[in-house]
Amino acid sequence: MKDEYDFSEGKRGALIKSKGKTRITIYIDDAVLEEFRTRAEKAGTGYQTMINTALNEYLNAGNERVIIESTLRRVIREEIPRLSQSASIPG
């Protein structure tokens, strides 16, 4: 063991960086956190992983709703003029 070590080139933080993930501090209701911990323990996974999965599912579900809504609006815009024309033509 050396008497002195040179840390002038040292950097603070995790020794191994995780690609695609960032460590944050977040406040979550105690009941929500406890439920995630309970469910994660039953599932045999980590509660942080489960929270991340839940957030991803929520965000993806939101995108699906936006896509469905925008598609529905486009179809309605296209079909209303066509239906108006066919309704005015005597059959």
Within-domain flag for 7: no
Q: Please state which of the ranges 25-29, 45-49, 77-81 shows the lowest mean pLDDT.
A: 77-81
Whether the pLDDT of residue 38 is over 70: the answer is yes
| Residue of 19, 53, 90, 7 lying closest to 45 (CA atoms) | 53
- DSSP H helices, the chain, are 30-43, 47-88
Within-domain flag for 10: no
Q: What residues make up the domain containing 70? A: 30-88
Within-domain flag for 47: yes
In terms of pLDDT, which residue wins out, 90 or 43?
Answer: 43
What total number of domains does the chain contain?
A: 1
Within-domain flag for 16: no
Within-domain flag for 66: yes
**Banded model confidence at residue 30, pLDDT cuts 50, 70, 90:** very high
